Structure 1
Amino acid sequence: MLASFFVWDGVDTLRNTDQHVEETENMLARLRKVLPREYASFVPNDPELVARGLAGARVGAGSLLALGKAPRTSAAVLAGTTLPALVGANAFWSADSEKEKNDGRNALITNTALLGALFITAQDLEGKPSLGWRAKKAGERTSKKVQAALPTKSETQNLTGKATDWFEDTTDRVTSYVDDHKDDWQDTGKELLHTAKSYVDEARSYVDDNKDDWQKAGKGLIANVRDTAKDYGDSARGFVNNNAGDWLDAAQDNAKTARKAVVKNASKAQDKADKALNKAEKSSGRSMKKWNKKAGKFQKEADKKIAKAIKKVGKNI
């Protein structure tokens, strides 16, 4: 009976949409005025499309409600289609004639009554318990099962007593064992300390007895190393000074050796010194002194790089 009004109204709107366009357009305009500015922009601008959409929703939800299929959901949908009309379409106070005001007032009261009936239908559980009640009962059953699985007070006390007795007995055993053996442990520790002290004293005596000999031996070793290094350095410097040019010429003649980086660097440095010396020989006066000074400087650099090359490559090529 409740669904019949919405089904008939939806069918009539679908069949005669043109007759409801003006009414829907007025409803949309009033909704834009009632709603806040940030929400008014979401109101559709096509009244014909809105009228057909609301009518289709009323026919579908009304049919399901009449058949008893998903009655709560169907009632909620019908309430949603009725609420905009209740807010926007029944502004009877703005009518021009008394008859229009009475008709608008009656329509508002009718829609309000239908909306109330839909709210009641949407809340009807048909004798079935609500979700809140079922959740509460499920929680109570779970709590009972948990309590049944937990040990009782007497069982807890028994377990606590057993644990206490075990800890006390174990503590007594450990304390007794420590008391019985602490003297032996102290004697063993003292013996270890005495042995370690004797080892330290022997090591200190050995160092005191031999340190003078070690110092003499060390000084002699350092002197020998210093003399050997000096002799080797003098020999190396003499070889470089006496044979640097011949060695560099031999290294340059050897194709494999000439490709080595140290030999290339030595060759470049020697060429630089030779060019400076050649310019000094061709100059005179202050210019000759200048180029002689540069030639000496470049030759020292060349000798260092040749010595480095000899060390890297070897004396004999």
Structure 2
Amino acid sequence: MLASFFVWDGVDTLRNTEAHVEETENMLERLRKVLPRDYASFVPNDPELVSRAIAGTRVGAGSLLALGKAPRTSAAVLAGTTLPALVGANAFWSADSQKEKNEGRNALVTNTALLGALFITAQDLEGKPSLSWRAKKAGERTSKKVQAALPTKSETQHLTDKASDWFEDTTDRVTSYVDDHKDDWQDTGKDLLHTAKSYVDDARSYVDDNKDDWQEAGKGLIANVRDTAKDYGQTARGFVNDNAGDWLSAAEDNVKIARKAVVKNASKAQKKADKAVKKADKASGGSLKKWNKKADKFQKDADKKIAKAIKKVGKNI
């Protein structure tokens, strides 16, 4: 019965939209005046479109309410479509004639009554408790179950006493065991200290007895290393003088071949190796070993470049 008014009003507006455009336009104009300036700009400017939208909404929500489908939501939607009309369309006090004032007053009262009925419908729970009440009761039931699962005060006290007795008994056993064996542990510790001290004394004596021999052996080892490095340097220099230099000297004497890039690279690499050999001749100790390594490295590089030059320009000069 409540839904029939909104369904019929929506159908009539959709069929005769032009007859309701002026009323909708007045409603929109009054809403712009009533609302704050920040919100008045959101009011639509097309009264025909607004009329059709409100009418369609009323038909749809009214039909759902009549069928009992989502009645609370449908009632809230219908209330939303009625509230603007209540605020903006029923300004009967501004009517020109007494008849128009009476009609406007009756429309206002009717819309107010319908709006109240819609509010009642939107709050109707159909005999079911509200969500907040059900949530509260569910919380109470859960709390009772948790409390029932927890141990009682007497059980907790019993467990506490039992744990306390176990800790006291264990502490007494540990203390008694320590008291009974502490003398043995002290004696064992003293024996370990004496043994360690004797090991240290033996090690110190061994070092004192053999340090002179180790020093002599070290000096001999250093001398051997120095002689080996010197021999290695001489061997490397001999290799340079006996092999790489022969072909490179012949290539440099030939002006045409000497201009080749591979011959130039080989010549530069060989000069670099020769320079390292000269540095090694003047060096000694650790520096000698360093320059010998460099001479060997540079000579290997020079040998590769000489071999490349031989392959490219010919083996016979």
Q: Which TM-score band (shorter chain)?
A: 0.7 to 0.9
Q: What TM-score results when the alignment is normalised by the length of structure 2?
A: 0.75
How much has 1:14 moved relative to structure 2? 2.5
| Counterpart amino acid of residue 169 in structure 1 | D
The answer to whether the aligner puts 1:50 opposite 2:50 as a matched pair is yes
User: Could you tell me whether the CA contact under 8 Å between 1:266 and 1:302 is conserved in 2?
Assistant: no
**Residue ranges of structure 1 left out of the alignment (5+ in a row):** 253-261, 271-299
Cα distance in 2 for residues equivalent to 1:152 and 1:101: 75
Q: Tell me: CA distance 1:101–1:170, structure 2 relative to 1, closer, same or farther (3 Å).
A: same
**Residue ranges of structure 2 left out of the alignment (5+ in a row):** 253-261, 278-294, 308-317
The answer to whether the aligner puts 1:60 opposite 2:60 as a matched pair is yes
1:202-257 residue CA offsets vs partner (Å, 9 max, x unmatched): 110111111122212222332343344345545654665677632645999xxxxx
Identity across aligned pairs (percent)?
Answer: 88
Mapping 1:136-215, distance limit 5 Å: 136-215=136-215
User: Could you tell me whether the CA contact under 8 Å between 2:71 and 2:121 is conserved in 1?
Assistant: yes
How much has 1:85 moved relative to structure 2? 0.5
Mapping 1:159-308, distance limit 5 Å: 159-234=159-234, 236-237=236-237, 240=240, 245-246=245-246, 248=248, 265-268=265-268, 301=272, 303-304=274-275, 308=296
Alignment correspondent of 2:287 = none
Q: Structure 1 residues 148-157 or 232-241, which shifts more?
A: 232-241
User: Could you tell me whether the CA contact under 8 Å between 1:269 and 1:305 is conserved in 2?
Assistant: no
Q: Tell me: CA distance 1:8–1:233, structure 2 relative to 1, closer, same or farther (3 Å).
A: closer
The answer to whether the aligner puts 1:128 opposite 2:128 as a matched pair is yes
Alignment correspondent of 1:78 = 78
Q: Tell me: CA distance 1:250–1:187, structure 2 relative to 1, closer, same or farther (3 Å).
A: farther
How much has 1:268 moved relative to structure 2? 3.8
How much has 1:87 moved relative to structure 2? 1.6
SS in 1 for 2:42: coil
1:29-51 residue CA offsets vs partner (Å, 9 max, x unmatched): 22233333443343333322222
The answer to whether the aligner puts 1:94 opposite 2:76 as a matched pair is no
Cα distance in 2 for residues equivalent to 1:251 and 1:211: 59
How much has 1:155 moved relative to structure 2? 1.1
1:38-86 residue CA offsets vs partner (Å, 9 max, x unmatched): 4334333332222222223223333333444433222212111101101
SS in 1 for 2:74: helix
User: Could you tell me whether the CA contact under 8 Å between 1:28 and 1:43 is conserved in 2?
Assistant: yes
How much has 1:265 moved relative to structure 2? 4.0
Instruction: Please report the RMSD computed on the Cα atoms of aligned residues, expressed in angstroms.
Output: 3.2
Cα distance in 1 for residues equivalent to 2:251 and 2:132: 102
Aligned residues: 277
Cα distance in 1 for residues equivalent to 2:121 and 2:143: 34
User: Could you tell me whether the CA contact under 8 Å between 2:92 and 2:101 is conserved in 1?
Assistant: yes
1:114-165 residue CA offsets vs partner (Å, 9 max, x unmatched): 2112111211223221111111111111111111111111111111111111
| Counterpart amino acid of residue 123 in structure 1 | Q
